[in-house]
Chains A and B, each alone.
Chain A
């Protein structure tokens, strides 16, 4: 009875817009003639970009020497992204890689060529050729985040942030829209629609894309510890809780989400992280367990864990799972409703756990194994089962998941 599946609808091809320009054909009152100069490259044209029916997930990694590769999670095939030179830190926004080198004083941008656009009721998935976009002067580490229109980079080391035009990045151009200066601190610069959320050592502020302060868009935030985008807005970790910034009519709104009780310095939520596009974020709570912040409900929850966690990422799925790495070197999965924790068993070197990058998508979690070429795919909804183990071309010092 099952007839063969018909994939008869052709793949969408954005490249076709190039052909479209030929339609001019001398028809309109003042349109150029068909034998005029060749049409200019259409705005937004991306050579070969295709729209595809599912996320084009890739694992992008580089060793410390900057030998960068991308592993296609659909086919298992690997392609070289480029030789980037020395890499100290790497960040991603789900499409681009941003690597920094203290030695060269530069930040390099790589387009991995796969990304997702969320339209609210549905999502579009794209693939274009990967390429090295270019480099810019940079000091220190980097944190990166993007909205549809903006990309923001922040150096906790220098306190300087840069806002880039994301559409231009997609075209292979580094177009700086604004520079945001503050003192060195563990802050954040995160796009929120067409605005950005910035921190200094004592406050959170909403800025426009040119870096100008938005009216009534400032809230106190003692000693920030990073910020992160959620489905709801942008959240920043502060000494007494969090500041949530949301888009409001013509600007942004800031609100405080205090911790339920005062929290000791060592147990603060630092490095809030989640599966992209979800409302909840998570972070380790010192040695006590895991912080879970639901930015939709505006509530914190501290969930105790049997072992201390080094990293925590909110998968925020039907069981509100949190995925992380614990001090015994396991990939661990917590179900906050029951407190149940499952683990892979020790697979990671316990003396190098801060070098483990954890990336969570709707179905799987990916981690690198420091010192090894192994890249692990963990099914976090199925008892932390290791679904696949990939062998990388080089020993990954930094890992990113793109296409989501």
Chain B
């Protein structure tokens, strides 16, 4: 797939954005600006059409590196509330978030409500900003954002907000219970995510999985590989006792073939949704859909 997909994303993103403007159409509604599209979806569930929710990060983009236009930056500074992920995630819009804060815009950072986990590498550590892979963390964020909306956004019907918050919270609880039940079907010795995705620390922490960081041989290596090129990955897969590799690779077919030929491994390569919702039809249009799709793939891959 894929070279075509980039253009498709652009076209669909344009479409989704335009339709987003249709409902309500009120120029008088308060404005809530949200940085990432995962949080944008969550905030939209809470405020419904009581406020205009402007999500800055396009569908399919990278939260670490997306940037905003001058016009969007201006809107951030005029927002009734600005919701950000925080924990160092949105590096590209950090300056604009701070500028808005200095202008007196109330900024609520989701990360403040999160019980954080750390990532570590050979020579560095840091706070993992990808809290959404654990729905319990998202529940805490929902409480925090809902309280901030109630306190800081004028013209919101508090009763409706409370009702909608409880309703979404219930959906998160259902998701959580379902994930516990689903992921519980994976036999304990196989609760290993061999992956080059870097966002599943919270999920692993919560549901008793281990993230095994894997380096996927690059396309330039796969062209003329030696057994050594696959040593590390094959070893990780064998040690983990799994037959599914959760990874992005532009050459998944070739990787599967090479692992079979060079390392005698019969594995599937399955990508997961990580840091962004997709345009309509992409399989992760909402946070809940993204989590359910990933859970299903993990269970199917490891069961």
B217 located at the interface, meaning its Cβ lies under 8 Å from any Cβ of chain A in the complex: yes
* Closest Cβ neighbor of B253 among chain A residues: A5
* Closest Cβ neighbor of B215 among chain A residues: A362
Chain A interface size band reads 35 or more
Of listed B17, B61, B221, B282, residue having the most chain A CB within 10 A: B221
Residues of A21-35 at the interface with B, using a CB-CB cut-off of 8 Å, are 21-32, 34
Residues of B7-22 at the interface with A, using a CB-CB cut-off of 8 Å, are 7-10, 13-14, 17-18, 20-21
Rounded to whole angstroms, the CA-CA distance of A9 and B31 in the bound complex is: 31
Q: What's the count of A-B pairs with C-beta under 8 Å?
A: 245
Rounded to whole angstroms, the CA-CA distance of A170 and B138 in the bound complex is: 36
Taking chain A's interface residues, is the majority helix, strand, or loop, or is none over half, making it mixed? Answer: loop
- A42 shortest CB reach to chain B, Å: 4
Taking chain B's interface residues, is the majority helix, strand, or loop, or is none over half, making it mixed? Answer: loop
Q: Determine whether the beta carbon of A51 is less than 8 Å from that of B62.
A: yes
* Closest Cβ neighbor of B92 among chain A residues: A44
Q: Determine whether the beta carbon of A20 is less than 8 Å from that of B69.
A: yes
- B130 shortest CB reach to chain A, Å: 10
Q: Determine whether the beta carbon of B61 is less than 8 Å from that of A1.
A: no
* Closest Cβ neighbor of B58 among chain A residues: A16
Q: Determine whether the beta carbon of B228 is less than 8 Å from that of A382.
A: yes
One of A53-61, A176-184, A325-333, A348-356 at the interface? A53-61
Query: Which of A25, A39, A74 interacts with B250 by CB under 8 Å?
Result: A74
Q: A89-129 interface mask toward B, CB cutoff 8 Å, 1 = contact, 0 = none? A: 00000000000000000000000000001011110100000
Rounded to whole angstroms, the CA-CA distance of A25 and B92 in the bound complex is: 23
Which residues of chain B are within 8 angstroms of A39 by Cβ–Cβ distance? 69, 71
Q: B206-234 interface mask toward A, CB cutoff 8 Å, 1 = contact, 0 = none? A: 00000000011111110110101100100
* Closest Cβ neighbor of B31 among chain A residues: A28
Which residues of chain A are within 8 angstroms of B232 by Cβ–Cβ distance? 318
Q: Determine whether the beta carbon of B54 is less than 8 Å from that of A17.
A: no
If the complex has contacts A26-B27, A121-B119, A381-B228, are A19 and B268 also in contact, measured as CB distance less than 8 A?
no
* Closest Cβ neighbor of A27 among chain B residues: B52
Rounded to whole angstroms, the CA-CA distance of A122 and B126 in the bound complex is: 11
Rounded to whole angstroms, the CA-CA distance of A361 and B220 in the bound complex is: 10
Query: Which of B5, B75, B228, B247 interacts with A10 by CB under 8 Å?
Result: B5
Rounded to whole angstroms, the CA-CA distance of A296 and B218 in the bound complex is: 27
If the complex has contacts A7-B1, A20-B56, are A12 and B220 also in contact, measured as CB distance less than 8 A?
no
Which residues of chain B are within 8 angstroms of A24 by Cβ–Cβ distance? 71-72, 75
B29 located at the interface, meaning its Cβ lies under 8 Å from any Cβ of chain A in the complex: yes
Query: Which of A7, A42, A231, A361 interacts with B252 by CB under 8 Å?
Result: A7
Rounded to whole angstroms, the CA-CA distance of A117 and B92 in the bound complex is: 13
Which residues of chain A are within 8 angstroms of B66 by Cβ–Cβ distance? 14, 17
- A386 shortest CB reach to chain B, Å: 9
Which residues of chain A are within 8 angstroms of B226 by Cβ–Cβ distance? 379, 381-382, 385, 387
A50 located at the interface, meaning its Cβ lies under 8 Å from any Cβ of chain B in the complex: yes
Q: Determine whether the beta carbon of B219 is less than 8 Å from that of A74.
A: yes
Q: A365-404 interface mask toward B, CB cutoff 8 Å, 1 = contact, 0 = none? A: 0000000000001010110010110000000000000000
If the complex has contacts A23-B54, A382-B226, are A12 and B60 also in contact, measured as CB distance less than 8 A?
yes
- A165 shortest CB reach to chain B, Å: 15
Q: B271-284 interface mask toward A, CB cutoff 8 Å, 1 = contact, 0 = none? A: 11110101100110
Q: B178-198 interface mask toward A, CB cutoff 8 Å, 1 = contact, 0 = none? A: 000000000000000000101
If the complex has contacts A53-B249, A124-B62, are A42 and B219 also in contact, measured as CB distance less than 8 A?
no
Query: Which of A6, A43, A364 interacts with B220 by CB under 8 Å?
Result: A364
Rounded to whole angstroms, the CA-CA distance of A124 and B199 in the bound complex is: 13
Of listed B3, B6, B29, residue having the most chain A CB within 10 A: B6
* Closest Cβ neighbor of B224 among chain A residues: A387
If the complex has contacts A13-B9, A15-B10, A31-B78, are A21 and B72 also in contact, measured as CB distance less than 8 A?
yes
- Residues on B lying within 8 angstroms of A by beta carbon are 1-3, 5-10, 13-14, 17-18, 20-21, 26-27, 29, 31, 52, 54-56, 58-62, 64-72, 74-75, 78-79, 92, 119, 121, 123-124, 126, 128, 196, 198, 215-221, 223-224, 226, 228-229, 232, 243, 247-253, 255-256, 266-274, 276, 278-279, 282-283
3 A-B pairs with least C-beta separation: A53-B248, A5-B252, A25-B21
- Residues on A lying within 8 angstroms of B by beta carbon are 1-32, 34, 39-45, 48, 50-55, 57, 73-76, 117, 119-122, 124, 231, 279, 296, 318, 361-364, 377, 379, 381-382, 385, 387-388
A-B contact pairs, 17 of them (CB 8 A): A4-B253, A5-B253, A10-B8, A13-B10, A14-B65, A20-B58, A22-B18, A23-B21, A25-B18, A34-B21, A121-B121, A121-B198, A362-B215, A362-B218, A363-B229, A379-B224, A381-B228
